[in-house]
Each structure stands twice: as structure tokens, then as C-alpha cells.
Amino acid sequence: MFGLGVFLAISTAFSWALACVIHTTASKITGIRAVMLVRQPLASVVLGVCCLAAGDLWLPSMRLFWLSAVSGLFGIIIGDACLYAGALTIGLRPAQVCQSLSSCFTALFSALYLHEFIGMQGWIGMLVATCGVILVVTSERRDTHNPPTTRKQRRKGITLSLLAAVFLALGLVFSKQALEEGIGALPLAFYRNAISTVGIWAIGFAIGAVAPAMRSLRANPGALKLFPLGCLFGPAGGIWLSCIALDYLPAAIASMLIGLQPIALLIITGIIERRVPAVNSIIGSAVACTGAAILLLR
């Protein structure tokens, strides 16, 4: 099953990268809030129907409910919102490369919370991964396909993307804990999305974001065509894949392979844009992923 887990984790990387392209495109048209408000209920319905069909909907304990809730809060509500905001500010590729540092944050959280040993190789891996991220961010700053930014905007975009990495790591840690305590991959994916849906809509009503988001969607009906495809590769199918991969692999290995999103994104955007990315972007993405591998294979 280890080989299947590796395949599913790499598939998750490509799935999430493609979903990020789709949702970032939709965010440019309708805004991030509209995307978050629409995609989560859609994913929850799809996964809920799958759970009912499989007869695997009910949670065995409240503890698993709360683990799923915290995982959804960190990984979806906060993490994805930070990622899309960062991508709109500095561009999709540099934002995703910053997010690839989630494997480093996973190792740090494991050391602090689970008292796991990092060691010299681990610290070297984090240094290499960080150097790769810096190379990509520096290279992509001059790419005409990315939005023009001031120094202040660039700092904001990088900060948001790094926060996305932090909260993705936290989401993976809590998901792995829930899986180890007995929840199945499919119901975990469903509850992560369903609880996130409630949270996102509650926040939307609290800050008065729902009405403007709906107006934006009515003004741009063509954007609605993007949501089913983004849902398939992101919060529904993509998260389901990640949960199955986590079920078959240690969290650190799964995090490393899912963290190959920058490489997947280079391939996907290269095909979509019909151009070869900058050499430094290719090298930096490879270096960042290599650093994650050094860290997690210690």
C-alpha cells in the first residue's frame, strides 16, 4: 500500500495545483470571498452524497468531529484563503512555492508538539528549501505574467503565502491524527469541507461579505462554470485524495509529496500558457522540493 500512497500523494499535488489555477482565475473575476462561499458547499454536497452511497457518514466519536473541525479550520478556511490572497498579490507560482514550505513547518510542529528529532540533516533540508523559495520569488518578480507589485505588496503576498504553508501543515497534522484514531478518508474529507462551509458562511455573514459576493457572482455568471471543475480537483476530489494518501503514508512523507505542487504547477501553467517558465523558477522549485525531501527523509 506504500506505493499506492505515494501515487495518491503525487496525484494530490497535481490535483491541488490545477484547482489552485482554476480558483485563482475565478478569484480574479469574482473575488476570493465569492470563491470560498461557493466552492465549499458544492464540495460538501458531492462528498456527502458519496458518503451516503458508501454508507460511511456518521462519526464514531465527538473527538473525531473536533479533529476534523480543527483540520478544516486551519487547512481550508484559513490556509486556502491565505493562499489565494497571496497568489493574487504576487502571482500563483511564487505563492505555491512559498506554500511548499509546509513540509518544513510540519517537521517543526512535530518537533515542538510530538518531540520528534529534527537533526542536522533536517535543518539543512529546511535551509535548502528556503533558498529555493527565495530564488523563485526573486525570479518571478520580473515575470510579466505576474501582477506588478510594490515592495510593500510583495512582502504582504509572501507573508500570506507563508501563512498558507503554516496552516496547511497544521491541517495535515490534525487530519493524520483523526485517521490514526479511526475515521475513514472519505468521511474525513466530507466533515472537513462541511464544517468549513459552516465556518466560512458564518464569517461571511458576520463581516457582511455574503451580499457583495452574491452580487459579484450575478455580475459575472460565466465564472460559475469554473466552480464544478475547481471543486473536483480541489476541496472535493483533491482533499479526498490527500486523506487516502495520509491513510497509507506517514504524515511527513505525505506532506513532502503533496508539497511537490510547485513542480506540478510549473508543468500545468507551462501547458496552459504555452511557454517555458524562467530557468531560475524551474531551478528554485526543484531546490525547494529537494530541501523538503532532505528534511523529511532524514
In the chain, what are the domain boundaries? Answer: 2-296
Identify the H or E element spanning 271: helix 261-273
Task: Please list the pLDDT of the chain residue by residue as tens digits (298 residues).
Answer: 677 888 888 888 888 888 888 888 888 888 888 888 988 898 888 888 888 887 777 777 888 889 889 999 998 889 888 988 888 888 777 787 777 777 778 777 767 765 666 677 777 777 777 777 777 666 666 555 566 677 888 889 889 988 998 998 888 888 888 888 888 888 888 888 899 999 999 999 998 989 998 999 899 888 888 888 888 887 777 878 887 887 887 776 777 777 777 777 777 877 776 766 667 767 777 777 777 677 666 5
CA distance 188 to 71: 9
Cell, residue 107: 517537521
Q: Which of 37, 48, 90 is nearest to 192 (CA)?
A: 48
Please give the DSSP secondary-structure letter assigned to residue 75: I
The gap from C-alpha 287 to its chain's centroid, in whole angstroms, comes to 20
Query: In this structure, what are the phi and psi dihedrals at residue 91, rounded to the nearest 5 degrees?
Result: 110, 155
CA torsion 235-241-242-243 (nearest 10°) is: 100
Q: Which of 33, 76, 16 is nearest to 223 (CA)?
A: 33
Helices marked H in 55-118:
62-72, 79-90, 92-99, 102-113
Instruction: Indicate the burial class of 222 (C-beta count within 10 angstroms; 0-12, 13-18, 19 or more).
Output: exposed
Cell, residue 128: 535548502
CA torsion sign, 285 to 162 to 187 to 52?
negative
